Amino acid sequence: MSNKLMRPIVLKGHERPLTQVKFNREGDLIFSSAKDYQVCLWYSSNGERLGTYDGHKGSVWSVDIDLSTNYLITASADFSGKLWKAETGECIYTWNFEAPVKRVEYSPDCKYVLFVTDQVMGKLGKIQIFNIDFTKSEQESKPILEIVNEGDATTKPTIATWSYAGKYILVGHADGGISKYDSKTGELLEHSTPFKKTVTDIQTSSDRTYFIASSKDQTAKLFDVDSWKLLKEFESESPVNAACITPVKDYIILGGGQDAREVTTTSGGEGKFDAKIFHKIFQDEIGRVKGHFGPLNCIAIHPEGSSFVSGGEDGYIRLHHLPKSYFDFQYEVEKTAEALQHQNKDQVETSA
């Protein structure tokens, strides 16, 4: 691989729009879910497909993998969530719900799992938390906690994730609101409505102390988990479907684009289907990665920040190993600060 030019690897395996992509903890594998009912597993180094997980009878909305890369969990529009053996593709357990399941995620210690179910057909949108025990194939079918949407369909939860230590559950709502619930009691601790349109993605920093939420209103915002304070704002020129915080470098990556149904009304090729890289601290856009020919639905960053994948409405996954220039880029002030730090360290060393 050349250090100067970034050559994306296009992963072709899904026939329908992607819904979620995810790295395992070591970052050597990528899991992807799509509306074609399939879940695929890929090598992250070369984009080779290892296999698929077949069994869902509806769009797979969400996917997650445990810390040891043994157990895959999926959420589907077929009203079910499934637990799989990651290595063999065997389905171990199925949870059944009364509504399509939009999101699934292990708690950081992989002892719990949360499902977000949709508010349709008279059912209320819910976040349900289950105990999970990998030593048994049979899992508890009853949730230990249920957070039920109390408003109408406009306030239903669309997305949820765990905070540091699994202490809180961070939820994005269809009306642009975000909330923080205690993961033990289900108590609502914080709620605010920083967005004008539905919240599309919430991803935390690697230490899960702050998170980025993105919205169809063309913005993404950074919040602190504890203080619930708005830290940073980023503006895009099209709806943002996914956002992630990069480890190592202080960047964030946003993905999105005009909705598929509106693309025809915009001028040709102007769908703005780029992954946009912003500087996390200075909030400026510093780079773009083109390639998809439909909106980006999901984005994931390698746990060590060395590559990222995006899944598009176009059915493709694009895998990017980040080039040297990505790592070398620094604002003058960053260089200066680093130099000062170095000097101070040197001085400390010499005086010691």
Partner 1 sequence: MSVAIPEFDESSVDISSLDFSDLEEKYNVKAPTLIDNCVIVDGAPIAPESKGPILKKVLTKLFSSCGKIEELYLPIENGKTLGYLVIRYSNFNEASKAISSLNGKKLDVSHRLLVNKLTDIDEYVLSGKISDEFKEPEFPEFKEIGHLNSWLLDSKFRDQFLINFNQSVGVYWYRKNLENEPVIEPRTQWTSTFMKWSPKGKYLFSMFPQGVQSWGGPEFTRIHRHLHPGVRLIDFSPNEKFLVTLSPEPIMDPMELREELRKDYPFKSEDIGKKLVIWDISIGLPVKTFALPPNLENATRMPWPLIKWSFDDKYCARQGPDAIAIYETENDFQLLDKKLVKVDEIQDFEFSPSGVKLASNGKKDAQLETVLSYWTPESDNQSAKVSVMQIPNKNVLRTIPLVQVKDIKLNWHETGKYLCCNVTRHTKSKKTFFSNLHIFQLFEKDIPVDKIELQDLILNFKWEPRSNKFVTISKIDKGELSQTNIGAESNTTTFFDVEEVKVGGSSLKKWVPLTSISNSFNDISWAPQGRFVILTSFGLPSTQLKFFDVEFDGEKPKDQNKKVQSNLKLLATHDYAGLCELQWESSGRFVSAVSSTWKTKVNNGFTIYDCVGHILKEEQIGNFKEFQWRPRPESLLTSNDKKRVRKNLKEYAAQFEESDTMDTNAALRVLILKRKELLSEWNEYRSETLTKLNALNLLHHAENIENETIETIKEVVLEETDEVVE
Specify whether the CB–CB gap between 260 and 237 falls below 8 A. Answer: no
Question: By C-beta, is 48 or 140 nearer to partner 1?
Answer: 48
Specify whether the CB–CB gap between 132 and 110 falls below 8 A. Answer: yes
Question: By C-beta, is 247 or 291 nearer to partner 1?
Answer: 247
Supply the minimum distance, in Å, between the C-beta of residue 141 and partner 1. 30
Q: How far is it, in rounded angstroms, from Cα 194 to Cα 216?
A: 12
Question: By C-beta, is 238 or 246 nearer to partner 1?
Answer: 246
Supply the minimum distance, in Å, between the C-beta of residue 14 and partner 1. 26
DSSP character at residue 305: S
Q: How far is it, in rounded angstroms, from Cα 257 to Cα 275?
A: 9
Question: By C-beta, is 139 or 330 nearer to partner 1?
Answer: 330
Q: Which residues bind partner 1 (CB under 8 A)?
A: 25-26, 108, 164-165, 207, 209-210, 224, 226, 231, 250, 280-282, 303, 330-340, 342, 346
Q: How far is it, in rounded angstroms, from Cα 91 to Cα 316?
A: 25
Which amino acid type is present at position 33?
S
DSSP character at residue 268: T
Supply the minimum distance, in Å, between the C-beta of residue 284 and partner 1. 9
3-state secondary structure of 337: helix
Our CA dihedral for 224, 228, 231, 232, rounded to 10 degrees, sits at 100
Question: By C-beta, is 235 or 250 nearer to partner 1?
Answer: 250
End-to-end CA distance of the chain: 43
Q: How far is it, in rounded angstroms, from Cα 238 to Cα 256?
A: 7
Supply the minimum distance, in Å, between the C-beta of residue 8 and partner 1. 21
H helix or E strand, kind and range, residue 223 = strand 219-224
- The pair of structure tokens assigned to 116 is 């977000």
Strand residues in 302-345 grouped as ranges (E): 307-312, 316-321
Supply the minimum distance, in Å, between the C-beta of residue 279 and partner 1. 9
Supply the minimum distance, in Å, between the C-beta of residue 138 and partner 1. 29
Supply the minimum distance, in Å, between the C-beta of residue 302 and partner 1. 12
Question: By C-beta, is 161 or 198 nearer to partner 1?
Answer: 161
Question: By C-beta, is 90 or 338 nearer to partner 1?
Answer: 338
Question: By C-beta, is 141 or 341 nearer to partner 1?
Answer: 341
Supply the minimum distance, in Å, between the C-beta of residue 283 and partner 1. 8
Q: How far is it, in rounded angstroms, from Cα 155 to Cα 178?
A: 10
